[in-house]
Chain A
Amino acid sequence: MVTLDKLKSGFKGELEVLTEEPKLSIIRIKNKKLIKKVAWQIKEEFDILYALSVVDYTPVFELNYIFSNYRNADSLVLKVNIDEKDFSIDSITDTFNSANWEEREAYDLFGIKFNGHPDLRRILLPEDWPGHPLRKDFKVDDEIRNWTGLDLKF
C-alpha cells in the first residue's frame, strides 16, 4: 500500500506496523497528538472512516479507527491508546466527515472527549442518562435493570 510506506517513512519511531496484508493492515501510533496528521495522510488513499471501535483495557483505552475506500475492499486499522487520566483526543471530523456520529457514539458510550468536534452530544442515550455503559466498570445490576426511565428528561 502506498500510504503505508509513506506513513512509515513520515512518522519514524512513532508508528508501528502490526500486520501488513493486502486486505487489512493494522498500524499503531504511540502518540495520540499525531492522530490529526496521520488521518490527513491516510485521507490520500482512504475515503471514509468505516468504524470507530473503542476497547476498554482500563486504565488504558484503545481506539481502533477503521478506514476504507470506495475503489477496493482494503481496510486500514489505526490503533491509538489514550490514558484514563487524560481522557480526550483530537477529533478527525474535519478530515473525515463520516467520523462525526461515530465519535459522538464513542463519547456517549465511553465518555471520551473529542477536541474540536462540531457537535459533541450524546447520540444513543438521553442527555441525563447516568454513566457510560460500555465501560468495563459499568455493571448491569438489578438497580439499572429495574429502573423504568420514566424520570428521564423527555
Chain B
Amino acid sequence: MEESNGFSYPGLYEIVFMKAEKFINTVLNWGRSNSLWPLTFGTSCCAIEMMTFGATKVDSDRLGVLFTGDSPRQSDLILVSGTITKKMARRLLNVYEQMPDPKYVIAVGACNVSGGLYHDSYNTIEGIDRIMPVDAFIPGCPPRPEEFLDAVRVLQKLIKENKSKAQKNGNIRQA
C-alpha cells in the first residue's frame, strides 16, 4: 500500500483480496446455515415436540437440520429444549463449551425464554440467556413442531447476514 499526503489507497491486490474475502465468507455462511447439525439438549416436555420435529410430519432434514450422533463435538447448533434447573446449569454450560465454533443456540419453550410457568419456582433458571448467548427464542409451552422450523429459518437468515451472536462476538474464524 502506497502512502502519500496522509491518505491511503487500496491497491489492486487489496481490492481483489477484499472481494474474495467477502465472497468466501458468503459461501461459508451459506454452507453453515444449510447444514446446521443440532445437539438435542432435551430435558423435558419440549424434547418430545423436538422428537416430532425430527420425525416424518415436520421433517427437519429438509432444512439441513440432521439429527445425527448427538455429540457436542460434531454439532453447530444446540437446541436447549426443556426447563434448565440450577443443578443442570453447569452441565449445560459444560456441554456448550465442548462445541466447536461457530456455534449457535436456540432456546426452546417458555421456560428457557423467561421462566414461563415455573417463574416462581425455587430451582429453575428464568431464561437461559442469563448464562449463555442465545440466537433465537421459540415461545410456547411447549411450542408446536412447526415453530422449530420457523426458528431454524430465522437462524439461517441471521447467519447469512453475519448477525448471529457467535459472529458478533468474534468467536468465528473468518477467511
A adjacent to B, CB under 8 Å: yes
Question: How far does the Cβ of B116 sit from chain A's closest Cβ, in whole Å?
Answer: 13
Secondary structure at the A interface, as helix, strand, loop or mixed, is: loop
| Bound form: Cα–Cα A146–B126 in Å | 8
Classify chain A's interface size: 10 to 19
Question: Which residues on B sit within 8 Å (CB–CB) of A140?
Answer: 120-122
Question: Which residues on B sit within 8 Å (CB–CB) of A145?
Answer: 115, 119-120, 122, 126
Asked if B85 is at the interface of the complex by the 8 Å CB criterion, the answer is yes
* A152 x B87 contact (CB < 8 A): yes
Question: Which residues on A sit within 8 Å (CB–CB) of B48?
Answer: none
* B122 x A133 contact (CB < 8 A): yes
Specify which of B87, B119, B121, B123 lies most central, judged by the most chain A CB atoms within 10 Å of its CB. Answer: B123
Question: Of A126, A144, A147, A150, which one neighbours B93 at CB under 8 angstroms?
Answer: A150
* B131 x A150 contact (CB < 8 A): yes
Count of chain B residues with Cβ under 8 Å from any Cβ of A? Answer: 17
Question: Which residues on B sit within 8 Å (CB–CB) of A24?
Answer: none
| Bound form: Cα–Cα A133–B123 in Å | 9
Residues of B73-123 whose CB lies within 8 A of A: 85-87, 89-91, 93, 115, 119-123
Asked if A138 is at the interface of the complex by the 8 Å CB criterion, the answer is yes
Known contacts A145-B120, A149-B85, A154 near B126 by CB under 8 Å: no
* B89 x A150 contact (CB < 8 A): yes
Can you report 14 A-B residue pairs in the complex whose CB atoms are below 8 A from each other?
A: A129-B86, A138-B122, A140-B122, A145-B126, A146-B126, A148-B86, A148-B130, A149-B85, A149-B89, A149-B125, A150-B89, A150-B90, A152-B86, A152-B87
* Chain B residues proximal to chain A, CB less than 8 Å: 85-87, 89-91, 93, 115, 119-123, 125-126, 130-131
* Chain A residues proximal to chain B, CB less than 8 Å: 125-126, 129, 133, 138, 140, 144-150, 152, 154
